[in-house]
Structure 1
Amino acid sequence: MRERSCALVVVGNEILSGKVQDSNAYFAARELHQIGVALARIATIPDQLAPIAGEVSYCSRNFDFVITSGGVGPTHDDLTMEGVARAFNRRLVVHPELERLIRKHFHERSVGAGLKMAEVPEGAVLNEAGDIRFPTVQIENVYVLPGIPQLFEAKLRALSSRFAADPYFMRAIYLTAGEGTIADHLNDCMRNFPELMLGSYPRIGDPDYRVKLTLESKNAEYLERAFRHLMGLLPAEAVVKTE
């Protein structure tokens, strides 16, 4: 089975200060999970070169691929591209195709600030981004995406086919029993099925159920065996429904 891991590096003082609510991490986690990729790390860091370079370097070495979000515009605090270049000990160079696209985009207007967006780490490649005008920059296993949610989401969707791994299979169990009542059963299930991803999510104030359990695996047969095992442990009268 194909296993792939990803790290997401969110860059922006505005996220850390609470001025902007980040939605890209939630979107990435959901989209990557749907294509069978484990999002194993989310780091939110300031608009500073050393933290960007350090985090990208660490993630690039420890995960199959890395996605960055934010810090790629034309202003003084857009430092992601330079930070990524530093992570790989490369210099920034103007990419001729990006320069052409930026000059075309700005037409007769001043392109001075905009040309900053044509600077990429030496050796970077461009990936088509669907209907988005500007392609996505890739350096080794790092993909540099904008922080604007509409652009981030469109670019991630355009890249999803190259990230895809074997899918996850899932079953769900809804219970009227509380977590304290079923904890021993969950522990038993994990002892017998250690590779199972088992989640327990309490629900407060819902008249229909108190806990939702999710069981996930990339092996459908393994998942079904774990599901049947756990169902045999849980009190039948507490099970509201399964999915």
Structure 2
Amino acid sequence: AVIAEHVRMLHKAYDLVFTSGGIGPTHDDMTIDGIALAFGRKLEHNESIAARIERAAGKAPNASQLKMAQVPAGATLIDAGDLWFPLVVVENVFIFPGIPELLRKKFESARDRFRGIPFVIKRVYVTRMESEIAQHLHDLLAEFPELHLGSYPRIQEESFRVMLTLESRDAGYVQRALDSLLGRLPDGAVRRVE
């Protein structure tokens, strides 16, 4: 129920959700069950996955192995290159294995599906202390609430004290926020903008 609750919440809040682990043959592998519950779907035996398990094992799969052939009804299966087990997807939830090497291979085989509108980022190098510009940053976020604004003090740098990052998928939004920020900061406070 905990997995289902979190998946339900994340599914609604994000474009893509990745899970990792809990899809194997043992009693504690509960991710598939939780995702099925999150979407109100029954688990179905997938004959294609069962056949893949049999080919990989070289013999008829046992009950524990067949547990891995259970997927939520209506799930999409994405071939994972040279791996015997496909990537299972339910709506916007991608179900990855927990073993790091397998996760990486499955991600790489499906990564083109994750491409979207890239983030636009502007970096502003400021010569003032973070505490001196903090109010300007608060005001900027009040004006541009969808902006991802990062503030990174740099103690060892000689040419600047803080690197600010302004990020969004909307280039025009970032530019308007940048223009507003530059208008707010004191004269001479900006070393450079990238």
TM-score by length of 2: 0.82
Question: Residues 194-233 of structure 1, C-alpha deviation per residue, up to 9 Å, x if partnerless?
Answer: 4432221234x43344322101122323322322332343
Q: Partners of 1:223 and 1:84 in 2: how far apart? A: 36
When residues 177 and 70 of structure 1 are mapped into structure 2, their CA distance, relative to the original with a 3 A threshold, is same
One-letter amino acid of the counterpart of residue 119, structure 2 = Y
SS at structure 1 position matched to 2:85: coil
One-letter amino acid of the counterpart of residue 178, structure 1 = M
Q: How does 1:20-59 map to 2 (within 5 A)?
A: 50-59=1-10
Is 1:206 aligned to 2:156, yes or no?
yes
Structure 2 unaligned runs (5+)?
none
8 Å CA contact 1:103, 1:111 repeated in 2: no
One-letter amino acid of the counterpart of residue 76, structure 1 = H
Match of 1:94 among 31, 45, 50: 45
Question: Residues 76-124 of structure 1, C-alpha deviation per residue, up to 9 Å, x if partnerless?
Answer: 2111111222223333222111111111111148644322211112332
Q: Partners of 1:52 and 1:121 in 2: how far apart? A: 14
One-letter amino acid of the counterpart of residue 190, structure 1 = L
Taking every aligned residue pair, what percent have the same amino acid on both sides? 45
TM-score by length of 1: 0.68
Is 1:114 aligned to 2:65, yes or no?
yes
Is 1:79 aligned to 2:30, yes or no?
yes
Q: Partners of 1:79 and 1:196 in 2: how far apart? A: 37
One-letter amino acid of the counterpart of residue 225, structure 1 = R
8 Å CA contact 1:53, 1:83 repeated in 2: yes
Is 1:187 aligned to 2:138, yes or no?
yes
Q: Partners of 1:171 and 1:228 in 2: how far apart? A: 11
8 Å CA contact 2:53, 2:84 repeated in 1: no
8 Å CA contact 2:50, 2:61 repeated in 1: no
Is 1:177 aligned to 2:150, yes or no?
no
One-letter amino acid of the counterpart of residue 206, structure 1 = Q
Question: Residues 165-201 of structure 1, C-alpha deviation per residue, up to 9 Å, x if partnerless?
Answer: 3221111122342221011222343344444322212
Alignment RMSD (CA, Å): 2.6
When residues 81 and 195 of structure 1 are mapped into structure 2, their CA distance, relative to the original with a 3 A threshold, is closer
8 Å CA contact 2:120, 2:170 repeated in 1: yes
SS at structure 1 position matched to 2:125: strand
| 1:45 counterpart residue number | none
Q: Partners of 2:146 and 2:163 in 1: how far apart? A: 20
8 Å CA contact 2:148, 2:166 repeated in 1: yes
**How many residue pairs are counted as aligned between the two chains?**
193
When residues 131 and 181 of structure 1 are mapped into structure 2, their CA distance, relative to the original with a 3 A threshold, is farther
When residues 181 and 72 of structure 1 are mapped into structure 2, their CA distance, relative to the original with a 3 A threshold, is same
Q: Partners of 1:59 and 1:222 in 2: how far apart? A: 26
